[in-house]
Structure formats: C-alpha cells, structure tokens
C-alpha cells in the first residue's frame, strides 16, 4: 500500500521542479496563510480558506494551477523550515541529480543531427554577413550563421534578427534548449522559439536574450555600449 505523502515532501518536490529557494517557499506559504496571497519566484501562493486545523493553499504559475492542497496549522508554526530536512534525504538527492542530468551541457563534438533540448557553451569565431530572406510565415527576416567552437570542435549557429546583433566575435556564448539540424548537408545548431541565447559580460554575469525579450533598436544600443567598453580597455 502506498504511504501518504507529507506536506514537507510535496513542497520539497515542488521546490525542485520549479527551482525555488526553500526558505522563500516556506515563508511565502506562511505569508499567504496570514495575508491571503504571496509570491515566491515565478510562483503565486494563495490561501483559499480553512478547514478544521488546515489551511487550503493554491499555488499557480502564470495563472496556471500548479497545486492545491491542505497544510496543517502546526506545520506553519514550525520555527525551523521542515522542507529543508526532507530535501536532505536520499530520495530527494537522487531526484535532484536526475533533474540536473537532464540539463546536461553538451560539447560540440557530441552533437548529432536531430538532437533537441541542447545546452552548449562555446566561443564565437566568425559571424557571416546577414542575409534578408522571405520566411514561410510571410515576412522578411535577417539571418546569419556564426561559427562557434569549444575544445572538441566547431559548428554553425543559426541566428535571426536581434540575435545577430546580440553577439560579437570573441564572445563566450551559451545556448539553452537549442536543437541540431542540417542545411545543405552541413550540421547546424538552432536556438528556436523556446531557446535562450546568453553572452558572458565583463562584469562576470550572463546577459541573456530569451525569445522576443528585446527590440532590435534596444539590442543595437546594447552592442554599442559593449563595443565602447571594449575600446576603452587598456591591454
């Protein structure tokens, strides 16, 4: 017979799945029980009422229901975060490792045609001149190939519109959730509509370009600032 999952276990799974801090989640739940609503990262927590000694919580993400469940008032009075203790167990350690493995970053030499959800970190060697093309969606767009490399090989990265101006030769870039395909018999890495492009900046942080995040004008200004910063460096 399957044992009942405790509130701590359930919340520990949610913290891993939605990548939220354990303390922030715990205090968001307490805040929602006291004030009606609270937020924790990209999650919203709402108190839907009380039944006997339980508080009914609704957790949503972007207005989509993640979970609705009762949690005891005793749990909310805990001084030490009970979710942390559960996360230390072997069950959750294995779950975390499995989740991390699914996010494995590939080296370029490991890439094969038809792969999806590919994460790659590489250096930009070349950027071809953009070409204006008419897409199958009935509009015009700029497209260019960048040659990126790591210690295992090189591959062409297909860039569209604002992605082209977002990177420069010599940049270290990271592609998340990309895919591989072939064009005219040559293997390519594509970012796609759900992919993310990031560059490593001088301040030691990643500057990211999720889909449709910036306008073309904003990106041109961003690159101008970055190039001006490079020109002022004393080597």
CATH code for position 186: 2.40.50.140
Average pLDDT over residues 145-172: 92
Arithmetic mean of pLDDT, 176-205: 81
How far is Cα 117 from Cα 235, in angstroms, rounded to an integer? 39
Whether 112 and 158 map to the same domain: the answer is yes
Number of domains present in the structure of the chain:
2
Per-residue confidence (pLDDT) for residue 157, from 0 to 100: 95
pTM assigned to the model: 0.47
Regarding predicted confidence, which is higher, 157 or 99?
157
Q: Is residue 1 in a domain?
A: no
Q: Tell which wins on pLDDT, 27 or 212.
A: 27
Q: Is 123 found in the same domain as 34?
A: no
Residue 72, domain member (yes or no): yes
User: What distance in Å separates the CA atoms of residue 118 and residue 180, rounded to the nearest whole number?
Assistant: 8
Task: Give residue 162's pLDDT.
Answer: 86
Q: Considering only residues 225 and 47, tell me which one the structure prediction assigns the higher pLDDT.
A: 47
User: Do 93 and 198 share a domain, yes or no?
Assistant: no
The residue range of the domain holding 95 is 7-102
The partner residues of 13 in beta bridges, in order of sequence, read none
Query: What confidence score (pLDDT) does residue 226 get?
Result: 43
The answer on pLDDT for 1 being more than 60 is: no
**59, 83, 102 - which closes a domain:** 102
Q: How far apart are CA 233 and CA 212, in angstroms?
A: 31
Taking only the tens place, the pLDDT of each residue in 101-155 is 445 678 898 888 888 888 999 999 999 999 998 877 788 889 999 999 999 899 9
**pLDDT band at 12; cut points 50, 70, 90:** confident
Among 87, 102, 117, which residue terminates a domain?
102
Find, among 205, 203, 199, the residue nearest to 166 by Cα.
Answer: 199
**Which of 150, 157, 154, 151 lies closest to 175 in space, CA to CA?**
157
Q: How much is the pLDDT for 233?
A: 39
Dmax over CA atoms of the chain, in Å, equals 70
pLDDT band for position 87 (50/70/90)? low
């Amino acid at each position: 017979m399957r044992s009942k999952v405790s509130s701590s276990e359930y919340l520990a799974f949610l913290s891993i799945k939605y990548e939220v801090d354990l303390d922030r989640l715990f205090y968001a739940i307490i805040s929602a029980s006291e004030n009606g609503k609270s937020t924790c990262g990209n999650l919203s927590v709402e108190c839907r009422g009380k039944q006997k000694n339980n508080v009914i919580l609704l957790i949503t993400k972007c207005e989509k229901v993640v979970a609705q469940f009762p949690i005891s008032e005793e749990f909310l009075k805990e001084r030490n975060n009970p979710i942390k203790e559960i996360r230390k167990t072997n069950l959750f350690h294995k779950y975390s490792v499995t989740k991390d493995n699914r996010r494995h970053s590939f080296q370029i030499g490991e890439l094969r045609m038809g792969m999806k959800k590919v994460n790659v970190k590489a250096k930009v060697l070349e950027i071809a001149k953009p070409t204006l093309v008419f897409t199958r969606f009935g509009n015009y767009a700029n497209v260019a190939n960048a040659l990126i490399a790591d210690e295992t090989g090189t591959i062409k990265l297909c860039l569209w519109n604002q992605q082209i101006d977002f990177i420069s030769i010599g940049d270290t870039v990271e592609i998340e959730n990309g895919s591989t395909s072939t064009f005219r018999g040559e293997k390519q890495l594509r970012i796609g509509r759900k992919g993310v492009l990031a560059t490593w900046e001088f301040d030691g942080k990643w500057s990211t370009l999720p889909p449709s995040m910036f306008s073309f004008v904003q990106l041109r200004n961003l690159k101008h600032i970055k190039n001006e910063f490079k020109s002022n460096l004393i080597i």
